[in-house]
Amino acid sequence: MQPTGSGELHIGNYLGALKNWVSLSREGTYDALFCVVDAHAATTEYRAAEMPTRIFGTALSYMAAGLDPAQCTLFVQSDVPQHMELAWYLSTVTPMGDLHRMTQFKEKSDEHKQNVNAGLFTYPILMAADILLYRATVVPVGNDQVQHLELSREICRKFNARFGDTFPEPKPKLTPTPRIMGLDGKRKMSKSLGNAIDLFDPPKVVEKKLKGAFTDELKLQLGDPGRPEVCNIFTLHTALTPEGEVKQIDADCRSGALGCGNCKKRLTETMNAELAPIQARAAELRAEPQRVLGALEAGAERARSIATRTMADVREAMGMNVRAPKS
Ligand code: ADP
């Protein structure tokens, strides 16, 4: 995830990706690595003096959400310079036409018209490097990153076809709620759009934000049948509220027995119950920043050792070693 805003994450990041990271790392099936992508964040204008706090805030959010450095590797992208090196090599097998098709590039270059830089354009190549450097097979992301991941797969295939089998093809892994809409109900939840509930919002703020949240484009009167399938509040219930209760909410919304106000009240309770332990852990970590910094240092060391091995294979595959001629 990018360390944007103050570095803290929102409910969309959490329900779309981070919650999956926590269960994957606890499950223990994978050797899981999670990274704060500060080099990616440099593609939009920022103040250098604020970046360390943003990076720290994102890493702290990872740990507060439940990622345990004993169960996974946590690190910061710029601590592993091989990401940038691999990105360069991968750029030589990436078709320009594919980059032009990326919807995120179109959106971001519209959003930041004063700074449409080359990094914004080649962003998905750096993302492919983030993945392939660790020979990752599974990448847990939200829906908006699926297109980038498809391109990572394409880059992987192109590299392997040209230089020999070097990387496995990575597959996306989505949560049941891979796209959380913002409080406006119109665009995806995102810090930069100001339509987000933050992971660290206090209960009263969550209540206020949900009260004002968009539900259904039809202005429902009490007793009108609702349409949970088009309602973002209902989607959030499916992610946060116990399953049996969700079925009841669905039925009561359709029959008109449950109005939007009460439906939001129930969601406020379940959301605050989910956020409480995360916020308590965040407070503990803020009091002991060394726990976060130490985890990032150890994580970077481990990530670099994997990255060093992969890059040796990549350079060899590409013939970038004058001291070891093959023939
Ligand atoms: P943002 O879009 O807020 O800048 P990032 O691009 O850093 O966040 O995304 C970090 C992760 O969170 C990605 O896996 C992305 O797919 C996921 N994500 C971001 N916003 C949402 C959302 N509204 N719904 C679901 N997943 C999301």
Best substitution site from 2, 11, 13, 103 to test ligand 1's pocket, by max atoms within 8 Å of Cβ? 13
> What are the domain boundaries of the chain?
11-180+289-318, 203-283
Active site annotation includes 106: no
Q: Checking DSSP bridges between strand 138-140 and strand 171-173, what pairing results, if any?
A: parallel
Ligand 1 atom closest to Cα of residue 4: 4
pTM greater than the 0.85 cutoff: yes
227 falls in which pLDDT band (50, 70, 90)? confident
- What CATH number does the domain located at 11-180+289-318 have? 3.40.50.620
Pair 76, 35: CB distance under 8 Å: yes
Render pLDDT for 293-306 as a digit per residue (tens, 0 to 9).
999 999 999 999 99
Quote the DSSP letter at residue 181.
Answer: B
326 falls in which pLDDT band (50, 70, 90)? low
Residue 178 alpha carbon to ligand 1 centre in Å: 9
Is the pLDDT assigned to residue 219 strictly greater than 60? no
Single-letter amino acid, residue 148: H
**Number of Cα atoms under 13 Å in the Cβ half of residue 108:** 23
Instruction: Show the ligand 1 pocket: residues with CB < 6 angstroms.
Output: 1-2, 4, 12-13, 16-17, 141-142, 144-145, 178-180, 188-191
Active site annotation includes 113: no
Residue 144 alpha carbon to ligand 1 centre in Å: 7
Region 44-62 average pLDDT: 96
Is the pLDDT assigned to residue 96 strictly greater than 70? yes
Ligand 1 atom closest to Cα of residue 190: 3
Task: For Cα atoms 250, 258, 234, give the angle at the middle one, nearest 5 degrees.
Answer: 40
Class of domain 203-283: mainly alpha
Nearest-CA residue for ligand 1 atom 3 is: 190
- CB within 8 Å of 130: residues ≥ 6 apart: 35, 37, 77, 83
Quote the DSSP letter at residue 225.
Answer: P
Q: How many residues in the chain? A: 327
Structure tokens at 194: 């100001």
CB atoms within 10 A of CB 64: 25
* Residue in 233, 224, 216 with CA at minimum distance from that of residue 254: 224
Residue 157 alpha carbon to ligand 1 centre in Å: 26
Ligand 1 atom closest to Cα of residue 144: 16
- CB within 8 Å of 212: residues ≥ 6 apart: 183
Burial 182-207 (b: 16+ CB within 10 A, else e): bbebeebbbbeeebbbbbbbeeeebb
Percentage of residues of the chain with pLDDT beyond 70: 97
* Residue in 294, 314, 290 with CA at minimum distance from that of residue 302: 294
Render pLDDT for 237-289 as a digit per residue (tens, 0 to 9).
999 999 999 999 999 999 888 989 999 999 999 999 999 999 999 999 999 99
Residue 139 alpha carbon to ligand 1 centre in Å: 13
Q: Give the pLDDT score at 256.
A: 86
The chain-wide mean pLDDT, for the chain, equals 94
Active site annotation includes 188: yes
Spatial distance between the Cα atoms of 130 and 38, rounded to a whole number of angstroms: 12
Residue 128 alpha carbon to ligand 1 centre in Å: 17
Quote the DSSP letter at residue 44.
Answer: S
76, β-bridge pairs: 36
Q: Give the pLDDT score at 213.
A: 93
